[in-house]
Structure 1
Amino acid sequence: MSNPNSLVEGWARRYGRLEARPSNVNPLDEFSGLSRRLRGLRLKEWIGFTLLHPDWYSSLIIQDAHYLASSEIYAYDRAAAALHQHAVTMRSGSMPMPSALFGHRYTAHRGDYSIEYEFDDTDGRHVLAIDIAETATAPAISGELHLDAAHAGRPLSVSSRLPGRRSRMYTHKAIFPAGGVLRVGDREIVYRPERDLAILDEHRSLLPYRTTWLWGTFAMRAEGGVVGANFVDRPEITGEAEESCVWTPTACEPLDDVVFEPAEPADPDAPWRMHSADGRLEVEFTPEGRKEVKRQLGLFAIDYFQMFGTYRGVVRGAEGSYEVQGVHGVCESMRARL
């Protein structure tokens, strides 16, 4: 299973924790004819980034749910406690999602809204280019970030079955040093690659019609490299590979059975505690703010929020433990009919 050329080869799909992202990831290659066309209506694809900077929280995404395509970005100014957001929606297929990640561009263009990812295929740098005009509710956001692929952390690549007939999940995640400048209105945010990070989240999944998850991630600089975690609680099949992991400077190590515990479920500003059954993740998340998406589209509905804030606690890798104090990250909840 080392460095496979494709997620699906000869109608057979690869499962488990893969050593690298396959060069071609198209979950529909497992099917043919009418079955392929029907599964295409169920496919959910997105590529997003969480940007980690001491003074700003920010996240951006390009996604195609195959009944609707959309893109969003937010930037939260910690000093001013101000959240700035932009979003667009388009018809499905209007935001191309090539099955090969590296060596390709992913774009979301509509009117005065433009987000573009360019993924290098030579371990050089990836580029995030943003050019969004001011609106009545948010300032302009523009700029360019360069992600250092040569010094990225070890990638997470997971293919697994989910509950529900023919439901499947594929995800690829990685941490990159990030440098460049973003401008939010008249504010200039300078990203320094020796300090700041970007966490990639790619999904190509055939999700169940009723989908739920809780998910969190964070990353920080440590001696020798990058330390962080990616963790999720969703309905799963016993024995299937999970996407939860701990990142250490030398490895991406699996986590098992992560539990999310809000201190006060009725209080949106209360901390959350997350811990894994194997004891290698024990952290508390304190939110500073949140963004929400609620949509009712007949048979389809989304009730989603992403909180941004800080983590503290400990992560334990095979080679030692790492203290987490005031580390930026996100935590989100999804309840949807897709």
Structure 2
Amino acid sequence: MAADHDRLVVSGIRRYGRLPARPTVVDPLAEYQGLARARRRLRLKEWVGFTLLHPEVYSSLILQDAHYLASSEIYVFDRTATVLHQHAANARGGSLNLPHNLMDNSCAIDRPGYHVAYDFSEHTGRHHIKIDVAATGEAPAITGDLTLDATAASAPLSVSSRLPGGQMYTHKALYPVSGTLRFGDTSVAFSPDRDLAVLDEHRSLLPYRTRWVWGTFAMPTEEGPAGANFVNRPEVPGQPEESCLWTPGACEALADVRFHKQGGDPNAPWLITSADGRLDVVFTPEGRKTVKRHLGVVAIDYFQMFGRYAGTVRAEDGTVTVVKDVHGVCESMDARM
């Protein structure tokens, strides 16, 4: 059982700020009781997803629970054939039971023809992703058995902050990844000295009108994984953002990130910079996954682009790292939910 000091909410009081590590127990609703807790449960959006970085494919997968609806999505973009394969499944809200003590636990969605499972094991230093999705008339089967090396992971990003009309908690980390991903007749092998998986966990009480632009990329170095995570969203002044630079062994705070699309074409490059100049990269998309749903008061206009980053990042000690043809993603969300 987690000690009180190792929880996001301690004795009914939520911890805010950049945390040194993920609390063992992350339950944003523990701050509330009775009717207030029930109301906020319907505002709670929880997800655990991964971006997989490999030279032959772009791929992301997610388990997400909005408590009125749970769902999962996975896509694989074959860079050689320039074809996007994607699957999705829905489940009853609250049924995924994404565990509050995620890092020594498991979670999954298991629907007919669609199974995605995560097994997090801190004590062994290995996490696992299992994928078994059947073919449909629109996309081939996708299967996978991947192992993430937690002993060689980046420093964690763990942020708890207030949002206008809501609250946000996120945990992110970079992991060397090994194993195999198969789609149709194609099989790709992941090598831990070359390939990475980016974990993205959220436990957030999002406002009804939610907007963000977000991106991430990562690359291996001889000293360990390095990369960046950056976002622009409505913020409460003085609250920590989730933007960061990952240097080998450290997660350095970043703020005031701006995204500048360089043209009207959907695949036009994006210039992404921080006000202090420590992040200065160009993202060149190769394709995108889109979700558009308009159901009266509920609407989602979302796209995630996958492609390549180039430019520079500068660590707090002044060390400059050149970013060249590094795989990553960039996405936009505009939702009423």
Instruction: State the TM bucket, normalised to the shorter chain.
Output: over 0.9
CA distance in 1, matches of 2:124, 2:245: 23
1:175 is displaced (CA, Å) by 0.2
Instruction: Report what 2:308 is aligned to.
Output: 310
Contact 2:122 2:150 in 1 (8 A): no
Instruction: Report what 2:281 is aligned to.
Output: 283
Q: Which amino acid aligns with 1:12?
A: I
Q: Which amino acid aligns with 1:105?
A: S
Instruction: Report what 1:210 is aligned to.
Output: 209
> 1:106-185, aligned counterparts within 5 Å?
106-122=107-123, 124-164=125-165, 167-185=166-184
Instruction: Report what 2:291 is aligned to.
Output: 293
* Cα deviation code 1:171-206 (max 9, x no counterpart): 000000000001100100100011100000000000
Contact 1:4 1:23 in 2 (8 A): no
Contact 2:226 2:248 in 1 (8 A): yes
CA distance in 2, matches of 1:176, 1:16: 24
Q: Which amino acid aligns with 1:302?
A: I
Give the 3-state SS of the residue equivalent to 2:235 in structure 1.
coil
Instruction: Report what 2:185 is aligned to.
Output: 186
Q: Sequence identity, in percent?
A: 61
Q: CA RMSD in A?
A: 1.2
1:298 is displaced (CA, Å) by 3.1
1:123 is displaced (CA, Å) by 5.0
Give the 3-state SS of the residue equivalent to 1:172 in structure 2.
strand
> 1:17-96, aligned counterparts within 5 Å?
17-96=18-97
Bigger drift between 34-43 and 222-231 goes to: 222-231
Give the TM-score of the pair, scaled to structure 1: 0.97
Contact 2:107 2:118 in 1 (8 A): yes
CA distance in 2, matches of 1:149, 1:232: 25
> 1:243-262, aligned counterparts within 5 Å?
243-262=242-261
Give the 3-state SS of the residue equivalent to 1:225 in structure 2.
coil
Give the 3-state SS of the residue equivalent to 2:277 in structure 1.
coil
Instruction: Report what 1:198 is aligned to.
Output: 197
* Cα deviation code 1:233-275 (max 9, x no counterpart): 00001100110000000210001100000001x3111000000
* Cα deviation code 1:24-75 (max 9, x no counterpart): 0010011111000000000000000000000100000000012211100000
Contact 1:108 1:115 in 2 (8 A): yes
Give the 3-state SS of the residue equivalent to 1:150 in structure 2.
helix
Q: Which amino acid aligns with 2:283?
A: F
Residue 223 (structure 2) pairs with residue 230 (structure 1): no
CA distance in 2, matches of 1:230, 1:287: 17
* Cα deviation code 1:270-326 (max 9, x no counterpart): 000000011110000000000001112332111000000000000111241100000
CA distance in 1, matches of 2:218, 2:69: 31
Give the TM-score of the pair, scaled to structure 2: 0.97
CA distance in 2, matches of 1:147, 1:196: 10
Give the 3-state SS of the residue equivalent to 1:201 in structure 2.
strand
Gaps of 5+ in 1: none
Gaps of 5+ in 2: none
1:97 is displaced (CA, Å) by 0.9
CA distance in 2, matches of 1:245, 1:312: 17
CA distance in 2, matches of 1:281, 1:123: 35
Q: Which amino acid aligns with 1:160?
A: S
